[in-house]
Structure 1
Amino acid sequence: MDRLTSMAVFTKVVATGSFSKAGRELGLSPAGVSNHIRALEEWLGAQLIHRTTRRLSLTEAGEALHERCARILEEVEGAEAATGALQEAPRGRLKISAPITFGMRHLAPVIADYLLAYPGVAVDVALNDRKVDLLEEGFDVAVRIGELPDSSLAARRVATSRSVLCASPAYVERHGAPGEPAELERHECLEYAYRATPGQWRFSGPDGEEVSVRIRGRLTSTNGELLRVAALRGLGISVAPTFIVGEDLVAGRLVPLMPRYAPAELGVHAVYPQGRHLPAKVRSFIDFLVSHFGQEPAWDAWARGGAAAPAHAARAGRAGRAGRQKERRR
């Protein structure tokens, strides 16, 4: 048998933990998979896998071989990619992970356009606000928003999204608009559960200094769209990314607050497993994202409108002062 193919079968068995699953992914029967493993064991003169009815485990020889096989196969794949990169058209199945709201609002049309542009690629999309394990779960690329933790993954910034402190005009009319971060402690705040600093919001002040404040509120969620709906209904103040609330700011359904204090910008990144040669389907998709979103994404149109944001902020400030005056009269 071809030893390189047998190595590939062996690494797939280790990755899936099953002869039958490896066979299904490779288009082989369980007997075919067994034949490849047996051929390797006969060639090396050592048992590679302990196999029981419940699970598979590697022998010491199997562990040593698996480490080397992974490097050999990566080198072979890299050589193939390097020699065929100039003429290779993207093809195969591309597995993508993305956050739910961003995926529905902004990624869906990009993926549709990508499929039209690259008929040789099939796409599987999983929308989930948790951070998936790309290697463990077999994803080719993930769209992630916010700070990236240190990891073995490679990343490319594809866009930027501002964050904005905002509330509905009705909320501001009832409760007033905070002028300083410390005033947020007296307000109902809508909290995103996956924030890096739970229960705390951070801002960049007028002189560039970092200001943090503890916040409270009755609603916490892992999904930004749910918090947007709550803000529109006047349930509280939100620090929201503009890719979620940009249209609401333009329409005046939400108004920006505390214009002198800015929440941190959010980076929109494509992350993918490191490798010397990026598969054409992954490279082309990331390039497609960058070209689509560009330097100034559409969701920040409210800020480019110039007078729109200050006007909303001024109305919020007037409503806030009026609200506080009503409280004093009572």
Structure 2
Amino acid sequence: MIRSAVHHFRRSYSGYLSPVVRSKTLTDVLSKHASREPISVITAYDYISGSWAQAANCDVILVGDSLAMCALGYESTTEISLEEFRFHVQSVCRSPGEAFIVVDIPFGSFESSIEKGVETAISLMRCSPKVGALKLEVGSHKPGAYNPDYSLKLAAELCSRGIPVMGHIGLTPQRVHSLGGYKVQGNRSAQQAAAIFETARELQKLGCFSLLVECVPHKVSQYITETLNIPTIGIGAGSGTSGQVLVQSDILGMLPGRIPKLAQKYTDLHTQSVDALKHYVSDVTMHKFPENDKNGFKIKEDVWREFLEIVE
């Protein structure tokens, strides 16, 4: 009886409910890779940028810690806290659409111990049912090394617990100081390029479903893509990867100044927005906005006369 009443309520008020949209799953992403279709990935920072990415029908939305610099004004991605980052993850996840959502694991939230890393991963996955996977920045793996990279151990732990992981190799911004700055990786020596390749192969072996390859020579990233069985998502890694990712603020030109070489600006939203806001300020100054007939609300004449009698 109760179930019937609930069902009737939902049907009666269906016009007021948001339509249920099926989100893409990991299987959808892997199927696209299997059919050799390029995978499109766009970053998002909040509900609005998430809604734009969803409306563009991209395959994957990455809630990257790049939002620290692109949306919050921090100087580095390492400054954003886990609590602040989770707030933005939840905001992006509220945007309607079917894109598969991958979330960064921010700096400082996983390095202290494997237990802490697993706890952080679980908290990020619990931000929303729409969070489908996590992205983990990983240092280059050197076969036979006495102490393998810690992040490789964490990747293995997360994969063993059924948490989908996208490994991030090449230029890893969270380790920018140890890398000597924001520089191309794997182009100075064959040993450096081989270390990136070995890292990629090790992450696949550990169970990562995909790799993000950043600022790696296109021949190296293409070799990695052709050798591995999992999809690679490139940024500054050439056209030979399984898909591409760009930061949304670079695509849209949200901020003034030059964009990185690895990106492409498809419009100049910063200039357009400032011009529009200047137009508004001018209209207010010149008494052109608002217009009573267009932007205002009326009152019935008898109500108005009664109001005057009361106040006067």
TM-score higher than 0.5: no
TM-score w.r.t. the length of structure 1 is 0.23
Choose between structure 1 and 2 for higher RCO, CA contacts under 8 A separated by at least 6 residues: 1
